[in-house]
Amino acid sequence: MSKPAEQLHEIVDLSTGAEEAGKRAGGSNRIGLLSVALLGIIFIISPEIIGNAFTSMLDKVKPIVVDIFLMGNVGVSIILSVMVGRALERMGFTDALIRLFVPLANRMKINPAVVIPGVYNILGDINAAGRIGGPIMKQAGATRDEQCIAIATMVQSQQSFSCFMLGLIALSLAGINAFPVVLCAVFAPLVIVPFVLSRTIYRNTRAVALKDLPSFTPKTPPFQTIFQGAREGAELLFLLVIPAIAVIYSLIGLLDYIGVWKPFEQSLSGFLGFVGVHPGTGITAIMASPTLAMGQLQEIAASIDPRLVVGAFVLAASGLPLSDVLGQIPAIWSVNSDVTAREALTAAIIGIIMRFITVTIIAFGLTPLLV
């Protein structure tokens, strides 16, 4: 191509790019003008709407962020979970766990590291599981599909030990043998979920020989490991978890003020009863705290249908509440792994859908055999 022709080609490319940029800017300007016009109309007709909407958002965010995460036990548990997780990692826990899972993972033709976030979630906290498990997945050479499988597997288990213990008490009060429920609801998904997803949605998986896996045990001094873990937990809490919580609950507050949220809650109650979950505790687990839900279930377990007790326990033993699924998991995994926020969100939603299927199967299929 001659030099004048090249220059002409560059000019055409530049003009095309400028046109596309102009179209995008024009679209943004139209949205901005529409927003200004809408706010202007609201200020003229009913200015208190904006203040009331903001108050509704604040009322939803403040109890969760301040009362639960800052003043309650949840925030401290996140810091401690990361610290304990890093200590376990330093003691060789991750290496030992992967070596135990390698034979089964090779049969499924999947990277054995996919179970790591789920196990750390059982032992500690879902946020710590992402912070620790994400880098481990990258270090193990896991594909993006395998990292998505790890997220979907992670949300199959409860994210606090207190939730687990309160759930066991509720099962015993309802006269239900807890061992089969725990086995089927907590430990079996660590194998079943990767197997199912690797053959359906996320197929880009590969077996990894034990000799090809790196060591996951850091060489940092023990005290430094613990201190850095606590510091990392604090960063996770204040820089990722709380902002994600604020975003989700502010949107819920806005929807509540508009009048959309109440009908959604009513529909959710009907759905929970249909799949075998006590509606009251189920909504608490989904919207607020599975641990709080298990505390509520403990008080009523002896007086309600055992199927609803089991269903509520299985649902609470998951990656819920919804703020974790929609906010914290995408925020944490997009920073600490190879997946994007959208991919992490999609994987988490798939995992929660699978969890609801598990709830129904165990509540209606297993419970009659245990009572």
pLDDT-derived band of residue 321, with 50, 70 and 90 as boundaries? confident
- Summarize pLDDT for 238-281 with one digit per residue, the tens: 887 788 778 878 888 888 888 888 888 888 889 999 999 998 88
Three-state DSSP state, 159: coil
- Summarize pLDDT for 68-81 with one digit per residue, the tens: 778 877 778 778 77
Three-state DSSP state, 211: helix
Cis peptide before 321 (omega within 30 of 0): yes
Judge whether 368 and 177 are in contact, CB under 8 Å.
no
pLDDT-derived band of residue 106, with 50, 70 and 90 as boundaries? confident
Q: How far apart are CA 184 and CA 28, in angstroms?
A: 51
What b/e readout covers 309-324, taking b as 16+ CB neighbours within 10 angstroms?
A: bbbbbbbbbbbbbbbb
Domain boundaries, the chain: 70-370
* Dihedrals phi, psi of 111, to nearest 5 degrees: -65, 130
Global pTM reads 0.75
Q: How far apart are CA 81 and CA 83, in angstroms?
A: 5
pLDDT-derived band of residue 354, with 50, 70 and 90 as boundaries? very high
**Ramachandran sector of residue 175 (left: φ over 0; alpha: ψ -120 to 50; beta: rest):** left
Q: How far apart are CA 154 and CA 152, in angstroms?
A: 5
Q: How far apart are CA 263 and CA 213, in angstroms?
A: 50
- Summarize pLDDT for 126-158 with one digit per residue, the tens: 777 788 888 888 888 889 999 999 999 999 987
Q: Is the per-residue pLDDT at 159 higher than 60?
A: yes
pLDDT-derived band of residue 17, with 50, 70 and 90 as boundaries? low
Torsion (CA) 259, 265, 266, 272 in degrees, nearest 10: 170
Residue-level pLDDT at 8: 45
- As separate numbers, helices (DSSP H) first and strands (DSSP E) second, the chain gives 20, 0
Q: Is the per-residue pLDDT at 344 higher than 70?
A: yes
